[in-house]
Amino acid sequence: MLPDLSEFPSFPEYEADWAPVYLEPIVQSGERLTIAVVAASGDEVNGCLTISEKALKCLYGSSAVGMQRMMGLALSRALEFAEGGFEGQFSCGIHGVVIGKTRRGLGNNMSHILQQASSLTSSLSTVHASALMEEDEESDDPVAYEANLGQLRSDIQDRVLGILPRLRDRFNLPLHTQAIQGSRGSLFFAGNRMAASLAKIKPSKQISRHVDGAKSRLWDLHFVKHKVADAPQNKCTLFIWTPKELDRFDPSLIAEYEQSLEDLQRQSLEDGIEPHIFYGAEEAAAAIIDYERAA
């Protein structure tokens, strides 16, 4: 009698080719570090560094800043190589940087593939993951802030496209078109029925910078709502990520955060834009999916 495999979980359907990016700190020494991973799935190309700023400081001390810049440049070159389908000879222009063998990965989305690639090729990947969490919750470092915001955008996009792949060309659109004179911003999402931007705010010593970023996104939506006469979107939404629990933050920062969040919501409503507070990528993705499904 054959076993019943009906309850056996199916394999993930998302596929991507990925490769590690290696650095030999001392050229031709044979010693190498995995400094990044890159992946490509059709037109979608992404990558990430596998050594955090904190880990770099432990390894290289005062030279960490230069190393981080070099790693960022190497990642940019590797992303260009991945966009070409990993074809031809990789040339980074930096001594000691090479790209490893391309492999095929299965996962839930691009972020999942990159996580797998990091854990498989970098012994520092767990340090990197822990540092990212600490930076997301505690640090005021602007680079870490933007990196985490970028990851949040990617996670939301992957979840939406997993359900509505027809919306692939509706993410991360510039506003400098003839229809919107004077705008230099961009939209996180411009679908058939909804236009949306993404902001992030939390208790922080740098909360004024976070609020300024959110207001900039609000201004982008203002252009769509009030300056584009024939815009198909009948709903403009400012998605605002915020931490669900505030216990870990300094009480002295929470009052200003709460007031800033309230002011941001009020300003959105006054401009006819819906403020949507969310705590995780799945919530924002679900809101986009629900509204666009009827289109």
Half-sphere exposure of 36 (CA within 13 A, CB side): 25
Q: Is residue 38 scored above 80 in pLDDT?
A: yes
Percentage with pLDDT > 90 across the chain: 31
CB of 276 within 8 A of CB of 151? no
Q: Is residue 290 scored above 60 in pLDDT?
A: yes
pLDDT at residue 179, rounded to an integer: 47
- What is the per-residue pLDDT across 151-160, written as a single tens digit (0 to 9) for each? 788 889 888 9
Output the CA–CA distances (angstroms, integers) from residue 80 to 14, 118, 126, in the order listed.
22, 19, 26
Q: What is the mean pLDDT of residues 202-223?
A: 88
CB of 103 within 8 A of CB of 17? yes
Q: Is residue 240 scored above 90 in pLDDT?
A: yes
Q: How many other C-beta atoms are found inside a 10 Å radius of the C-beta of residue 87?
A: 9
Compute the distance between CA of residue 231 and CA of residue 31 in angstroms, rounded to an integer.
56
Q: Is 217 exposed, middle or buried (0-12, 13-18, 19+ CB in 10 A)?
A: buried
Q: What is the mean pLDDT of residues 203-230?
A: 84
* Whether pTM exceeds 0.75: no
Phi, psi of 87 (to 5 degrees): -95, 145
End-to-end CA distance of the chain: 48
Q: What is the mean pLDDT of the chain?
A: 81
Domains of the chain (ranges plus CATH)? 14-132 (no CATH), 142-294 (3.40.50)
**Displacement of CA 28 from its chain's centroid (Å):** 35
**Would you list the DSSP string of 208-251?**
HHHHHHHHHHHHHHHHHHHH-TT-S--EEEEEEE--S--TTS-H
